[in-house]
A and B are shown apart, each in its own frame.
Chain A
Amino acid sequence: MAPTKHTLVALVEDKPGVLNRIASLFRRRGFNIESITVGSTEEARVSRMTIVVDGATTAVEQVRKQLEKVIEVIKVADITHDQMVARELVLVKVKATAQTRSEIIQIVDIFRGNIVDVSSDSVLIEITGDEDKIGSLLDLLKGFGVKEIARTGRLAMVRG
């Protein structure tokens, strides 16, 4: 079965209004975007966007072609079927008491996450990985009481 989540990578010129143009395009065409991540690249004045689209509700090829039409978009590739590395960075603040703190730390260790801040009633955890790994960790942490989550959305790069 073909995956329904598609990962598109777009290289765009870093000019004012580009993100607005792309966001407006998604809204106007009714494209359902799960996540969009923007950052700088190895080349000055070029930004890289990683966009995750649900192929079950949105025509991914239309998304790619419509993105290509934006003048500042240099290149768009659907790398879903390529050998790729996909990662997401998540910060989670979890309720922690003296009794639960060590259990939480143990779990985080297993997932190779980091405790980046500790307070009297919570810990702040940093975790990097693919969505499966992050999903499993978050499930485990739910039981302790999650106070806050911040996620970057998917970043992806083709191997080799």
Chain B
Amino acid sequence: MKMSGAQILCECLVREGVEVIFGFPGGAVLPLYDSFPQFPQLRHILVRHEQGAAHAADGYARATGKVGVCLATSGPGATNLVTGIANAHLDSAPIVALTGQVARPFIGKDAFQEIDITGITGPITKHNYLVLKAEELAAIVQEAFYIARSGRPGPVLIDIPRDVFIDEAAFNYPEKVSLRGYKLTPHGHPVQIRKAAKLINECKRPLIIAGRGVILSRAFQQLRELAEKAQIPLTTTLLGIGCFPESHILSLGMLGMHGTAYANMAVDASDLVIAIGMRFDDRATGKVSAFAPQAKIIHIDIDPAEIGKNVRVDVPIVGDVRNVLQVLNEQITPQTHVDWVRQIDDWRRKHPSNVIRDHDGLLPQYVVSKIYEVTQGDAIIVTGVGQNQMWSARYFGYDKPNRLISSGGLGTMGFELPAAIGAKVGRPELTVWCIAGDGGFQMTIQELATAVQDNIAVKIAIINNGYLGMVRQWQELFYGRRYVATPLSSPDFVKIAEAYGLPGIRVTDKLQVVAAIEEAMAHEGPFLIDFQVEPEENVYPMVAPGAALGQLIEEPRADIEAKVGPRETSNL
């Protein structure tokens, strides 16, 4: 039986287990939209801007571990997806982006709403396709989903001309994907694993740096076994947060530019760094030439191209993190590393990075910590980019994986609201808090209408300090407090909420914080809180851009110094 290209696509999506599509219609995809009523299993959520569709698919993918799907028409619809696709690419989020294209006879003629989206997205997708025949569609869709979710996940784009949706073809769904040039290396090389085990068994000051690869390969048990068996302190990257419980005695929290002091000091002093499912981003390493200067480095990653890209590696292991750790753990002899753990505890005591100072005004850290208390940590936190992101990363104790969803690699302001919508759609049973800055929130504010129309119960906390806060902080610290283009006026967010049709309240006093969070949680639908916080609060500690991790700028804190004595300069 012949089917139209549009029906073939829908049938493939159903077979791939797709439940929801975030999209926005237009001329080139009208034939596809017209077939949606025949496939009631596919829920379509109408966004207000295609960037929101890509971020929502990304948030959905990270919250569920499944492939997220977004859909846009040709031309501007497709180009509006670009930021969201790039974001998914840099954070290895599996999404499939579907775009309409002008009909085949018009391709290359600069037709209305024609753009070369496969050309544009080449550098920001794991792979992309232009479908030229309805007969090829089924195999391409199957390949696209396979590529998106396997190996190191990432976005795949399929560009489909309008007349391919209309053309009829037999539904020909291959039994399995066969891609000659796509090789996966799921198992680490046994010789390398043996070398790694030897280093781990002989080292004195080991440190695990765990990244998002641990979450993607669901290696939580194996990671924990390694850390506990050999008593190895563990720090995570921003995107690795939650892969190891932060309440665990061996957890040092996040490392890097705004990581905890003790995590960065541990990197600096370690004699063996075991990097697992992470890619040595400059925000995590600081000055690369001064990164872990005393350490040998073991690097476990599924992507061979990440090995040796940014830092020198002594023992590279290419493979799926879970498989590698399973084999590695068998070769580890139990250790204690008493002196090393004691040394780190001493740093922890003298440099308590996550202690919030007593303050009468409303501190952003305080807001995040109260969201933690009220939700008892059982919530998905979706952040914007900048100060709000760093406070969200640092002051919410993440004990479970996939509970922090944040734009790490691309650093996309405006990610927060649409990604939170996607996360909530994917995990409706969980509380989802969108923690936004007043700047980033205004970049995708229109998605409030999406949340209201589909009653997607995201809880929104705007950390409103009247500045583009992280840029202001850099101007304060490195540009002589010249606040150029960072003071920010915002609309009345409570009225905005009201206008969009969701409840909103304003909080200006720390005594109102808990009640406001509780009110938001008690409400069934989306809810917005405008927290008007201290305008010039900084994120500490900080490693200046280009500086080594050991060169920390710490919060000037009389109360801590009174307790532990003056802190030695942390330039180790």
Contact = CB atoms under 8 A, between A and B. Distances in A.
Contacts of A70: 181
A73 B181 contact: yes
B267 interface: no
A128 B42 CA distance: 61
A68 B305 contact: yes
B338 interface: no
Interface of A: 12-13, 16-17, 20-21, 24-25, 28, 61-62, 65-66, 68-75
Contacts of A61: 308
A71 B157 CA distance: 13
Contact of A66 (B118, B305, B308): B305
Residue from the set B119, B303, B305 with the largest chain A CB neighbour count within 10 Å:
B305
Given A20-B122, A71-B182, 11 more contacts: A17-B130, A28-B123, A65-B307, A66-B305, A68-B183, A68-B305, A70-B181, A71-B126, A71-B127, A71-B147, A71-B179
B304 A65 contact: yes
B124 to A, nearest CB: 10
A65 to B, nearest CB: 4
Contact of B122 (A12, A13, A24): A24
Contacts of B307: 65
B180 A13 contact: yes
Contacts, number: 40
Contact of A62 (B147, B179, B309): B309
Contact of A74 (B147, B181, B303, B305): B181
Contacts of A74: 180-181
In this complex, the interface size class of chain B, counting residues with CB under 8 Å from chain A, is 10 to 19
A66 B305 CA distance: 6
A133 to B, nearest CB: 35
B181 A65 contact: no
B309 to A, nearest CB: 6
A73 B119 CA distance: 18
Smallest CB-CB A-B distances: 6 pairs: A65-B305, A74-B181, A71-B127, A73-B181, A65-B304, A74-B180
Given A62-B305, A65-B305, A66-B305, A71 B122 contact: no
B304 A68 contact: yes
Contacts of B179: 71
Contact of B181 (A13, A16, A17, A20): A13
A21 B130 CA distance: 13
Nearest to B126: A71
Contacts of B305: 62, 65-66, 68-69
Interface string B180-213: 1111000000000000000000000000000000
Contacts of A65: 304-305, 307
Nearest to A10: B181
A71 B181 contact: yes
B177 to A, nearest CB: 11
Nearest to B180: A74
B525 to A, nearest CB: 42
A28 B307 CA distance: 19
Nearest to A74: B181
Interface in B293-321: 303-305, 307-309
A72 B123 contact: no
Interface string B78-104: 000000000000000000000000000
Contacts of B147: 71
Nearest to B118: A17
A155 B536 CA distance: 62
A70 B130 CA distance: 16
Contacts of B182: 71
A20 to B, nearest CB: 7
Contacts of B127: 71
Contacts of A62: 305, 308-309
A20 B130 contact: no
A12 B179 CA distance: 12
A21 B181 contact: no
| Most chain A beta-carbon neighbours within 10 Å: one of B130, B180, B182, B303 | B180
Contacts of A17: 118-119, 122, 130
Interface in B167-185: 179-183
Interface in B112-158: 118-119, 122-123, 126-127, 130, 147
Contacts of A25: 123
A23 B130 CA distance: 18
A28 to B, nearest CB: 5
A13 B181 CA distance: 8
Contacts of A75: 181
